[in-house]
Amino acid sequence: MRTLGPRMEVAVAMTILGVGAAVVAAMHLTWPAPELPAMAYAVSNGEPGVSDLKPFEINDVSGAPVELTPGGVGSRLVRLSNPNSVDIVVMTLQAVPGQPLDAAHNRVPDCPSGVLSVRPMAEPVSIPPAGAVEVEMVVQISPDVPDACQDSVFPLTYSGRATRG
């Protein structure tokens, strides 16, 4: 076996380290502008006077994908719409990340959905009849992200609870 010599070994080692650093710096995670908004909703059936209310609508209106680096924070803009003829108060809104997908929309089994977290809506919001409000959902990616998560897309499923205003 032939040796490279001390200078060449150092050059090869520096090249390998440089490529490794570039991969870490370029690692990002995204989720797409939704083609069909992922949404779920509920009217608080256990509360008096809400059985006649229609469910409120949840639409992610952020637009472009958001790129996150390990440990990074981003946000999604969500529009809540009231199809009712009375005021409603959205009491809770949360989003749960789904199994990450690659560019071909295949599941990425070595990338856990738990590396992405979404903070629930901080305070209830009132929505007038046939009106809408926009709220910001804060998202954060773990500082310890497996390499398998590079360029992954995280689908979000939103859910919430409303009552009469």
160, 58 in Cβ contact below 8 A? yes
DSSP assignments along 114-126, one per residue: GGEEEPPPSS-EE
pTM of the model: 0.70
For residue 42, the model assigns a pLDDT of 45
Query: For 43-61, how does the pLDDT look when each residue is reduced to its tens digit (9 = 90+)?
Result: 444 455 666 788 889 998 8
Give the largest Cα separation in the chain, rounded.
Answer: 83
8 A C-beta contact, residue 94 and residue 136: no
Measure the CA–CA gap between 50 and 43, rounded to whole angstroms.
7
Query: For residue 40, what are its two tokens?
Result: 């779920």
Q: Is the pLDDT of residue 37 over 50?
A: no
Query: Structural domains in the chain?
Result: 28-164 (2.60.40)
Whether pLDDT at 26 is above 80: no
Confidence of residue 6 (pLDDT cuts 50, 70, 90): low
Residue 115 to residues 41, 108, 118, Cα–Cα distance (Å): 24, 13, 10
Q: How high does pLDDT run on average in the chain?
A: 75
pLDDT tens across 67-116, in order?
788 899 988 999 999 999 999 999 999 999 988 888 888 999 999 989 99
The pairing of strands 156-164 and 42-43 is parallel
29 pLDDT more than 50: no
| Predicted confidence (pLDDT) per residue in 133-143, tens digit | 999 999 999 99
